[in-house]
Chains A and B, each alone.
Chain A
Amino acid sequence: MLGFLASRQSGLDHPLRLRRAESTRRVLSLELNKDRDVERIHGSGVNSLDIEPVEGRYMLSGGSDGVIVLYDLANISRKPYYTCKAVCTVGKSHPDVHKFSVETVQWYPHDTGIFTSSSFDKTLKIWDTNTLQPADVFHFEGTVYSHHMSPVATKHCLIAVGTKSHKVQLCDLKSGSCSHILQGHRGEVLAVSWSPRHEYILATASADSRVKLWDVRRASSCLITLDQHNGEKSKASSETANTAHNGRVNGLCFTADGLHFLTTGTDDRMRLWNSSSGENTLVNYGKVCNESRKGLKFTISDGCSPDFVFVPFDSRIAVYTLYAGELITMLRGHYSDVDCCVFQSNFQELYSGSKDCNILAWVPAMRDPAPDEDSEKSGPQSHLNPAFQDAWSSSDEEG
């Protein structure tokens, strides 16, 4: 750290280098911190989390009982201990609350004044954050599994919606109507995601084990249908042709630079794809337990030198390096299946929502104070908290 600082000071290093190194270190030291709590509002499982990209301060959470909660993550109290307060809630008593489980929540990428939520009650709602009233409601034929707005789009304002029907629908916020329908999938569409690099590129993952890349300017057909075997085996057996997974594909996430994206499937595999060529990069992540029948929200860190993937793994969160596929650690804290996790890149914090109603904050561990000689001598008594002390009874007889 000091070395990085010195070289940064002297201008030997690129400024990014220090940042990357430090953020990597912080990500590696993520832990469940007792100083950080998220207020317990949800009475049932948490399906979806999203942190607004502007400040990285507010977080939305959608629960399986239809409740949407907005948290303030910033700690302005200047104390180590902080509980993320719920700023506002679309609770059960709210007139416009979703009737059924909220599957996806997302901030409007450019402003915190709007957020969107889609639910199993077959609606997609556009909310005005300040009045907490829905500005617009889109109705669909099937339950909505996932929706996404492009974070980089400047020329369009489309929300891609994956529903139970096999079509991907594009809703235009400007007109308030469904402008496109992308046909090609043969199963329900469990995950949709816009490319963070090209504003017209959309990736969709479906229960028919296919992942397709679309250019929304050309709605007639998709660009590529991803093939897990990169076209080698598909010649032999037509059935497995052009499938991305051997089960339902329920998770989809682009890297921050948009060059690659990850998919997860119920075949307990995670695959990294080249988003421009649609090739399977064949990174082996090992077995990633995944039994979710709905969409799975996982996340990829941003700004670390090897980037990391945080993916729900039963009741744990597995941390892999993105390109090597190496399992770094398992974050244990939830008592039930984890449904979603979201990475806050400014402070390298991770938030995860689970079926056990908890939202847990995974915060980088504080750097241990430099071991002094004095404290070394004083030994375990120097612990601040008596709970950390051992309590062996003093006499040997007692044990």
Chain B
Amino acid sequence: MDQKLSELVEQLTTSGEPELNLEKMKELKKICRTSDEHISHIYHLLMTQLNEDHAEVRFSAFQVVAELFTRSHQFRTLLISNFQEFLELTVETDYDQPLPPPKEVAQKLKKLAIKSVQEWHEKYGETYKKLSLGYHFLKQNKKVDFQDTSARTLAERKREEEKQRRLENIYKEKAKQAAEEMQEMSEEIQANLIEMENCFKLLMPDPFDFSVNGVESELGRTEDKAKAGSFQVEKEMGLEAPMPGTLDDEQPCCSKDLPPVTLNQKTGESGISGSSEYQEEDGKGLSERECEADDMNEDDSFIRKHGLGSHTYNLNLEISTDLKVCENEDNSAVVTNLLDICRLIKNKFCPSIQSWIQLFTKAGVNDDRLRHAIDLKRQLEMALKKHEALNIECQQRERKVMKDSDEEDDDDFVEVPEKEGFEPHIPDHLRKEYGLESLAPPQAAKTQGIVKPAGPNPPKRPKTNDEELDPTCAAATWKLIRDKLPKLPPINSSVPGSPEPDTSTESINKQKKREEDRAIAPVMPFGIDLYYWGQDQPTAGKILKFSSQHRFWTPNELEEEVENKEMEAMLKTRYITFPGKFEPVKHKCRAPMPDGSLCERQDRFKCPFHGKIIPRDELGTPTNPEDQAREAKQKFEKEAEEQDWRDPEFMREIESATGVDLGSSKITGKGKGGKKGKKKKYPNLTDLKQHTNTSRSRLQKKVFNKAAVKRVVSAMNRMDQKKHEKFANQFNYALN
């Protein structure tokens, strides 16, 4: 029976699972209830298991203990008599005796133990004095918070609190900063918002606010939408309706469908009224028209009375439901401004407000500041929404600017006479003044022929010239080239009867080639000597001899200058090293890696792992067939090699699982597998040693290897000894 009991306990505690095996537990309990002796026996068994240095064993043992504790008085007495040790082993009361790894299970054990102790104390605390003492000990001395489920120690809690406090302080500080920043920025935001609002008003009048409407209609680029009850006739101006007088098909006005008789009048009227505030004038206009029409036609009176042109009157109202603001020259300033503000809001205000709100929420600020920030954000968002709803159709900004400047050149810009003394391009008619031949190229004449009739300022420049004079535009560049290039051909062509046109083409070709070469040729830094290259330098290669420094005495005759041919030659030779330009490697090795990816190394010629870099497709296989063959061969060789060191243990495992002989015994026979045959005792438990198999530990094994340490020590000793010899301070002597 005892044998069975210990077996059961061992099985239960070494299962490594978070839950106990119910059947085994039942069996265990059945045995335990038979006699007290078994209970004391199992108590000792469990205590030994609790002493194991493995948290999973302890955890399972503790679960068994908890099961038995609630059932047997005898077990309770036994356990409580040794409650100190029990607490040390499960709740970690002794600082010097921490719970064993794995850490998560240890934490779980601690939690469970604390919870159980509390439950036990509630249930049995009165009768078992030591239990309640232990409970109080945990509560008061170890400061275990039984409500705190995470079962943290006092130190941990303190650390946590401190961290929290520090963070809070930081947040508070940040929130304060943000509040100040907000204070500063909110004015700007408000100003921008107001500006934007005004822009909206200008662009898009409020249908109910007629006074504003009047002003805006003059600006005339709004397109009011019929809202709810009041319908408005669309006014269209700007690009779509460039001329207010010529109402065209686009205008969904009823007048289009009118018979010709009334049409004249109507169109005339509507033309006069300038299409603005059509709906306002509607009533008035009609009544006027009625009066006029009275004498015209009696029969039409009915029709007229009802403001209808004819009986066959079809009224088609096209009420556009989407807002659209088109940009034209009238509103461009407003639109530009609006867009600027929008950009400002999107890029600057919104992110900063977002960050403020985040800061406030993090810092737990819950007062006006946060509200203010949220208000601001909402306002900004509304403004942005409004902007989007406006659906502003902007023209291409850059192009427009160009065109505008072109078109309005005459009107907007005051012509400034060319600055004296600086003439980037001398106009044709002035060339004589400068003593130059008139270029008079035909194309120039063409372009310049369109000189406008003289205005108040005579040197009215032609349009193209304007462009060309602007150094930033492409035309100017082109002109520059054009100006330069003709310089050469004229020399050729200036010779009137140039006999060989082929030579000229040849030379042109040569020149072209030269140009190309010049384009390819690298620009190198050079010395000042090149600057004087070919010129005769009087002092070159001459050595001045000052024979004596003496004040009074001089040697009678000595050539003061010695010519040195070598020196001269040296001065006339010049080496310029040209190492070429560094080109970064663009290709990758792209050899397939064992994990399926491709090698990312960017070596120029050879990858240290995969050899010569060869072209490969996207799967990493070489594109050249011979490379493919070589690679396949290598792979085969490698595999053959691998056969030798295949893990016999792993193979044996597979064999035992599948029952197929893979020949592991063969390998074991010659290899080291024999000593590895020891099987793990408890396969279900987490292997504690495995945890230590990290790169660090492996390195440790290497570095702190006894032999290695010895080697290092001896080397260092040798170095120390060498210190007392010659040249000790030179490193290359020190190590040999």
Contacts and interface: CB of A to CB of B under 8 A. Distances in A.
Interface in B76-92: 81-84, 87
B93 interface: yes
A358 interface: yes
Contacts of A336: 137, 141
Contacts of B137: 335-336, 356, 358
A175 interface: no
Nearest to B30: A399
Contacts of A385: 127
Chain A CB count within 10 A is highest, among B128, B133, B134, for B133
Given A389-B73, A390-B73, A390-B74, A332 B124 contact: no
B133 A390 contact: no
Contact of B141 (A332, A356, A390): A356
Contacts of A397: 26
B123 A392 contact: no
Nearest to B23: A399
Contacts of A90: none
A34 B129 CA distance: 5
A83 to B, nearest CB: 12
A334 B136 CA distance: 11
Interface string B115-155: 00000000110111110011011001100000000000000
B129 A357 contact: no
A387 B128 contact: yes
A393 B124 CA distance: 18
B64 to A, nearest CB: 12
B33 interface: yes
Chain B CB count within 10 A is highest, among A385, A396, A399, for A399
A335 B141 contact: yes
Nearest to A316: B84
Interface in A336-377: 336, 356-358, 360
A335 B140 CA distance: 12
A333 interface: yes
A240 to B, nearest CB: 32
B93 A390 contact: no
B71 A390 contact: yes
Contacts of B465: none
A387 B131 CA distance: 12
Given A332-B84, A392-B72, A399 B29 contact: yes
Contacts of B25: 399
Nearest to B81: A332
B70 interface: yes
Given A34-B127, A356-B141, A315 B70 contact: no
A396 B31 CA distance: 11
Nearest to B141: A356
Interface residues of A, number: 26
Contacts of B93: 335
Interface string B670-706: 0000000000000000000000000000000000000
A336 B87 CA distance: 12
B26 A40 contact: no
A390 B72 contact: yes
Interface string A380-399: 00000101111111001111
A391 B127 contact: no
Chain B CB count within 10 A is highest, among A32, A387, A391, A397, for A387
B141 A392 contact: no
A33 interface: yes
Contacts of A315: 84
A363 B126 CA distance: 17
Given A335-B87, A357-B141, A34 B74 contact: no
B29 A392 contact: yes
Given A332-B82, A356-B137, A399-B29, A33 B72 contact: no
A333 B130 contact: yes
Contact of A33 (B70, B82, B124, B129): B129
Nearest to A32: B129
A41 B698 CA distance: 54
Contacts of B71: 390-393
Interface in A172-190: none
Given A333-B133, A357-B141, A399-B25, A387 B74 contact: no
A154 B92 CA distance: 53
Contact of A34 (B28, B73, B126, B140): B126
Contacts of A34: 126-129
A354 B90 CA distance: 22
Interface in B3-46: 25-30, 33
Chain B CB count within 10 A is highest, among A33, A332, A334, for A332
Contact of A387 (B83, B87, B126): B126
B84 to A, nearest CB: 6
Nearest to B25: A399
Contacts of B74: 390
Contacts of B129: 32-34, 333
A396 B140 CA distance: 42
A335 B93 CA distance: 9
Contact of B136 (A40, A332, A387): A40
Contacts of A334: 84
Contacts of A40: 136
A318 to B, nearest CB: 15
A388 B133 contact: no
Nearest to A336: B141
A335 B133 contact: yes
A360 B132 CA distance: 12
A32 B131 CA distance: 11
A391 B29 CA distance: 11
A360 B84 CA distance: 15
A357 B143 CA distance: 13
A399 B83 CA distance: 25
Contacts of B70: 391
A391 B136 CA distance: 26
Chain A CB count within 10 A is highest, among B93, B124, B130, for B130
Contacts of B136: 40, 358
A297 to B, nearest CB: 21
Given A332-B82, A385-B127, A387-B128, A396 B30 contact: yes
Interface in A291-323: 315
A387 B134 contact: no
Interface in B528-567: none
B565 to A, nearest CB: 97
B33 A392 contact: yes
Contacts of A357: 140-141
A315 B97 CA distance: 15
Contacts of B30: 396, 399
A394 B28 CA distance: 15
Contacts of B27: 399
Contacts of B127: 34, 385, 387-388
Interface string B58-74: 00000000000011111
Contact of B130 (A32, A391, A399): A32
Interface string B150-185: 000000000000000000000000000000000000
A387 B82 contact: no
A386 B83 CA distance: 21
Chain A CB count within 10 A is highest, among B136, B137, B141, for B141
12 contacts: A32-B133, A33-B129, A315-B84, A332-B130, A333-B130, A335-B87, A335-B141, A388-B127, A390-B73, A393-B71, A398-B26, A399-B26
For the complex of A and B, 5 pairs with smallest distance between CB atoms: A399-B29, A399-B26, A387-B127, A335-B137, A34-B129
Interface of B: 25-30, 33, 70-74, 81-84, 87, 93, 123-124, 126-130, 133-134, 136-137, 140-141
Interface of A: 32-34, 40, 315, 332-336, 356-358, 360, 385, 387-393, 396-399
Given A336-B137, A399-B28, 20 more contacts: A32-B130, A33-B129, A34-B127, A34-B129, A332-B130, A334-B84, A335-B141, A336-B141, A360-B133, A385-B127, A387-B73, A387-B127, A388-B127, A390-B72, A391-B70, A392-B71, A397-B26, A399-B26, A399-B27, A399-B33
